[in-house]
Each structure stands twice: as structure tokens, then as C-alpha cells.
Chain A
Amino acid sequence: MQFATYLLKSNLISKEQLKKVLILQFTRSTSLVEVLLNSSFCNLENFLISLDLFEKNKLDLLETLETNNFLSLESKDKILSQYKESLIPLWTLLVQDEICNYHQARSWYENYLKELEDLQKQKKTNETSTIQESHKSSKISSKEDTHQGMLNPSQTPIPNIEIKILDALMLSELLEAFDETKRSEIEQTIINFSKNSDVEILRSLYRELHTLKGTSRFIKANASEYLIHQLESLVQESIRYFNLMNDYLKLKVEEDLLLGLDLIWDLRTDIQLHDHEKCWLDKNWQKKVFILIENILSTSGKVQKLSEQLSIDKIDDMF
């Protein structure tokens, strides 16, 4: 089942809305290779030659094609008008198109993932029963069943983090420093960042996260410290290349930061209720961390790529 099917089946969006969004997704998410090949701008052979050259020199792919006369300048412009620089997930478009707000989209997407997982589990169970029917002597480990669909920690970039029962007196420091008001302040700052063009907003966000990280470290809330550090890193990179970031990239940063904030809030809620970062031990919850880290790595890579446009002269001008 695809996410779109899920949205329709659950009556969360209308067919018309879905159609509109799918058209957007199609027009915005076509890969460069698809545009080049499907539109006959370039044949496969030339494309492969360019790809080799692209690996060897530091020109970008379109420049490589152009330098080798595989593309005219006119074609390049046409391609660029068709090719949008990156994939945009459906749920992001739902938000961008104001079909729903961020929280609704997140919640729909999470429900979808859960339903999808249940379906996969169901399918697996059916397969297992079939196997058991045909191979009655083989024993299926119940432990393996429990881990169906869960992340293998060795395949994720998430470190092993020691989760401790926190000192009741000290944890109040974090609960006070990161309350509902602070959360919504940070959320608003993140949203304002993508709408505004003021780097100071990011700098104040960095300070907020930095202070929260310090407090988390102080009370030994290790998972919170780890997650806040990831967000802080992304904000730091964004500050560095702020002037070069386009609206799309700002939106990606916003999206990652909002997801991160949600997860840190989950940890905070557990600290309040259970005196420790309980959800970190939940493999299903860890999947969200995995998605966040993957997203941050991807966004951060895009932001860092902007350094290629930042010459020493440009840096000098900033000072």
C-alpha cells in the first residue's frame, strides 16, 4: 500500500487534493537522469561518458555534459526548468499546499507507517504459517518474530546510548528549562527561520539548543544530549551557509528541526513520567530517530555542498 492510497482509504484527503499533490510531486521530483533521458536531451551513451568525466573532474554533471558538447546551452536551460533539485516527500507537499498542517501530516504519515508495518507483519506471519505447515519440523524463534520490521542497530548511525534513571532533583532543571512555553518558542523560531531571511534567528536557535544540550548533559540525559547535538550541528551548518541557501533547503532544515524537536519532546515527556528516557529503548520509536538522522545527514550534506560556492573572497567580504 502506498501512502497516497492510505490517505485516500482513510478519507484524510480527497481524490482532487491527491491528484493536485501527485502532479506537484511528479513535476518536482523527477530526477535529472529521467529528464535527460526521457526528454531525449541526451542519449544513454553520452550520459554514461559524462558520468565518468563527472567523477574525474569537479564540474557538476550539467556542466560536464555541456563542456563535452552533449548539450546545447538552450537544452541546459530547459532541463533546469524541468528538473527540480531534489525529491520532495508527499507529506511535505501536503503541508506546502496547505492541505493540512505539519502536525497532521506527521501524524498521518506515522499512522501510515504503523499500518504498513502491521500489514508487513501480517504478511510475514502468513508466510511463516505456510512455512510451518510445509516444514513442521522447523522451529521459528519467537525472538526473531519480536524483531520483525525493526531496525538492526548495526545498520543505523545511531550510537548505543546508556539510559539511566535520572536524579529526581536534577531532572527538574531540564523540565523547567524545556517546558511547553520553551518548546513552542523554539518551534516558532524554527518556522520563522524558513519564512525570514535573518540569520540572527538561527543564531538565537543555536544558543537555545546549546543551552538545552548543556542542561541535558548536566543531568545525564544522554539521549536528549545526543539528539540536541544533531540538531545543533545542522543549525551550525545552516548559519555558515545561510546566504547561499535556497527556500527549498531552508524548508528541509525546518522539517528536520521540527521532527527533531518532536523527538526531544518525547524524551522530555518520558523523563517527566518515568525519570528516564524510556522511549529511547523502544525499537519502534528508534525508527523515528533513524529517519531523523538519515534526513539530517542528507540535508546537512546539501548544506555543506554550498561550501563549493563560498570562495575565500566571499568569506573575506563577510568580515
Chain B
Amino acid sequence: MNIFCTDDNSLHLTLIQQALRGAASSLNLDLKIIGTASTGQEAFDKVKQLLNSGNTIDLVTLDIRMPELDGLSALIKLKNSFPSLKICMASSEDDKTVARGHTTPMEMSLADKLKLIEKVAQRIISGAIEQGKINKVLDGCDQIALDPQEVAKKYGALAFLHKPYKIEDVQQMLKLLTSGGSFTVF
């Protein structure tokens, strides 16, 4: 099983690799970290290069909050280029953060918010940057208090993993990867 990990924080990048190795070992899975990146853009470039040169990637992990290209924007870009790629989002956005978003006075339905995000997604895919507009998906989520999990689900992520990583969550996520299943939050 080849896994590509992305996180801008070197400690967190090490931790997810450790958690994946530990979980894989307990499930008797043969796991290899095929590459790492510290931004969404770097992940996109490296994954593209690996796939185009004949490698297989079973899973890409993407931290949500990263400089240059955030994880959600990278998810949209990767899924657009490689629709069958399995992607697990990783985040330290906790319940408090999500609740904070939901209590913000912003009278918009989830569907309305996702429609706005779709505009940003289209720009991400086409590579267009519009001055004075929100050009990153996570910035859009912050602006309209949209839970990143909703975006991850809509754009085809396999799972959403919360930090700090728990070995049992990572085990469950790997089982989901091997058995197939719908979007799950751990």
C-alpha cells in the first residue's frame, strides 16, 4: 500500500506517518510512504509526477490548513485530475472551531454556502486567480463559516481525520480504504 502524506508542520507530518505505520502493522498491511509534501501545490505536483511515471498511490493524506494551496483546494485539484484517487483530509479543526463557525451570524443555508465554494472550486481547477475575490477554498470556508468537513464530503474525500491522530482511528480509516465505503469522519 503506497501512501503520500502532506502537512506543512514537520512534527505533524512525522506523526501521521508514525500513526499510519503503526496502524498498518497492527492490521498486517504492507505500507510504504511513497512521498511527502508540505503544501497543497507541492502535493499536487509530486502526486502527478508519481502517477505519470507509473507509480500507484493508494492514499493521499492532506492537512487542511497549509500555505500556498490549502488542503481543500488541493483535494479539488487532485480529484479533478485523478478522480479515482483516494484522499484523506487531516485537520486539527476541533469541535470548538466548527461550533464557532456555526454560531457566527450568517443567514445562509449549507446549500447556498456550497454553491459559493463551487465558484472558488472552478477557479482552482482552471488555475484562474481573480483579484479581489476569494481564490482558495479554505479562505471561502472561513469567510462563510462553512465546516470544512462538508467540503471534503462534497468533493469526494474518503475520510476526515482529526488530530491528534489516534491509532484506532487510523486503523478504521485504513480498513475503510481497503474495504471501500462512504465518507467517514474520524
Contacts and interface: CB of A to CB of B under 8 A. Distances in A.
Interface of A: 173, 177, 203-204, 206-207, 210-211, 213-215, 217-218, 229, 232-233, 236-237, 239-240, 304, 307-308, 310, 312, 315-316, 318-319
Interface stretch (B42-50, B72-80, B136-144, B178-186): B136-144
B145 interface: yes
B164 A307 contact: no
Interface of B: 8-9, 11-12, 15, 65-67, 92, 96-97, 100, 104-108, 112, 116-117, 119-120, 133-134, 139-140, 142-145, 163-164
B14 to A, nearest CB: 10
A232 B142 CA distance: 12
Contact of A307 (B11, B92, B105, B139): B105
Given A304-B104, A304-B105, A307-B105, A318 B96 contact: no
A293 to B, nearest CB: 15
Contacts of B97: 229, 232
A213 B106 contact: no
Given A236-B142, A307-B105, A215 B100 contact: no
Contacts of B142: 206, 236, 239-240
A315 B96 contact: no
A218 B108 contact: no
30 contacts: A207-B8, A207-B65, A210-B65, A211-B8, A211-B65, A214-B9, A214-B163, A215-B11, A218-B11, A218-B12, A218-B15, A218-B164, A229-B97, A232-B97, A233-B100, A236-B142, A239-B139, A240-B104, A240-B142, A307-B105, A308-B105, A312-B112, A315-B106, A315-B108, A316-B116, A319-B119, A319-B120, A319-B133, A319-B134, A319-B140
* Majority secondary structure, A binding face: helix
Contacts of A204: 67
Contacts of B106: 307, 310, 315
Contacts of A177: 9, 11
B11 A173 contact: yes
User: Which of B9, B65, B117, B140 has the most C-beta atoms of chain A within 10 angstroms of its own C-beta?
Assistant: B9
A203 B143 contact: no
Contacts of B143: 239-240, 315, 318
B171 to A, nearest CB: 20
Nearest to A318: B134
